[in-house]
Amino acid sequence: MMKHEFEKIVGYEVIEKDYNNIIEPMYMAVNLDKEAFAKTINKKQFALKTKKELVLKMMEIAKHLKATCDHYNDYEAEDQLKAIAEEYKNRFAPYGGGYFINTRYTWEHMGERRGCSYPAEIEIYDSKYHMTEKIKIA
């Protein structure tokens, strides 16, 4: 069974490496037809996140970073946001370009304390640095 056949049967995408190293050898080792075999595969383990799921996760992280930006910098969450933005760019905007995380500034703590910046949107660029998509995350 080919990767595209498997994805058509199960209704989701899988990573090429997972298909070649795990799914294909398993299929070759069992005596099941394609549909029966596809039902045995754990979707949670192999399915790639959809576009909507990636955007929702970026929004969740951005909300957390906005809520905590006045108190501390959560570098782990920032790195996670960057990794998800990179995955989004590679999967859904493979133009050979990049992405940029735009920030906004809070003015909620005027007086003795000042505001802070938080991620607000992600811009996806093609290889000529023309913006192809803007995703509002906060």
pLDDT bracket for residue 91 (50, 70, 90): confident
CA distance 99 to 124: 4
Q: Does 116 have pLDDT greater than 90?
A: no
Q: What average pLDDT does this structure show over 76-89?
A: 94
CA distance 117 to 47: 34
CA distance 37 to 134: 39
Q: Is the CB of residue 106 less than 8 Å from the CB of residue 115?
A: yes
User: Average pLDDT over the chain, rounded to whole?
Assistant: 89
Q: Does 60 have pLDDT greater than 90?
A: yes
Q: Does 50 have pLDDT greater than 60?
A: yes
CA distance 25 to 30: 9
pLDDT for the residue numbered 108: 57
pLDDT for the residue numbered 93: 83
For residue range 20-31, list pLDDT tens digits in order.
999 999 999 999
Q: What average pLDDT does this structure show over 6-21?
A: 92
Sequence-ordered list of residues with C-beta below 8 angstroms from that of 106, at least 6 positions apart, any chain: 66, 69, 70, 115, 116, 117, 118
Sequence-ordered list of residues with C-beta below 8 angstroms from that of 63, at least 6 positions apart, any chain: 138
Q: Does 120 have pLDDT greater than 90?
A: yes
